[in-house]
Amino acid sequence: MVQEVHPSWWRRWNWWKVAFFIMLLLFEGAREIAVIQTNSPAQPATLATVVSTSDLTVAQGRWNRIDGGSALVAGAVRIDCRRDERRCYEVSYGINGGYVDSPDLSIYPATWGVDQISYENNDPACARYSVRVDQKLEKVFAIRERKDQPSMAGFDCTKLERRMEMTLTDGSKPFADPAKGHFLPVLSLLKVVFEK
């Protein structure tokens, strides 16, 4: 009599089905990560700070409007003001379409007052920027005013707002959840599991 041999549980499983569901889960995870990355706006990681010593004041952050107007283009700025040189060095860069622009360095003559440093950027054809670093409040303020006559021929400055008030802050807009409005079951499940 021949004894019937039952295969082990290992051999009884349909491994192609298991592999199919694992691959399906991996593809869904990759899709959800791509959705998050696509909807995460590129923002420079800059904290708003103003640090002063007797000869050097350094400020950095992102320009943000304080006069209630439309949002500014994302970017960051660092201002180094050197008392012994009587100048301020301003390095700024913007982010357009997820790409970081090359940095722009400008040097301006500056004046020192009691607890403040001020300089003027008259370089743009259509605008003049008056910047004030308040060392006591540890804040930087700027006013952009439209020029009545462009400093270079061929520019139409009428589309530029007449006046804009700005300050350096940590961010140009609050963080928006990149997952909002998207179906992300795997990441939602992982979030529930790891938040407990």
Residue 33 within a domain: no
pLDDT in tens, 48-57: 788 888 889 9
Q: Quick one: average pLDDT of 74-82? A: 90
- pLDDT value at position 152? 77
- Give a three-class secondary structure readout of the chain: CCCCCCCCHHHHCCHHHHHHHHHHHHHHHHHHHHHHHHHCCCCCCCCCEEEECCCEEEEEEEEEECCCCCCCCCEEEEEEEECCCCEEEEEEEEEECCEECCCEEEEEEEEEECCEEEEEECCCCCEEEEEEEECCCCEEEEEEEECCCCCCCCCCCCCCCCEEEEEEECCCCCCCCCCCCCCCHHHHHHHHHHHC
Is the pTM for the entire model greater than 0.75?
Answer: no
Residue 86 within a domain: yes
Query: Would the pLDDT of 92 be above 50?
Result: yes
CATH of the domain at 131: 2.40.128
Q: Which range of residues forms the domain containing residue 108?
A: 49-169
- pLDDT value at position 172? 47
Residue 26 within a domain: no
What is the number of structural domains in the chain? Answer: 1
What is the overall mean pLDDT for the chain? 83
Residue 128 within a domain: yes
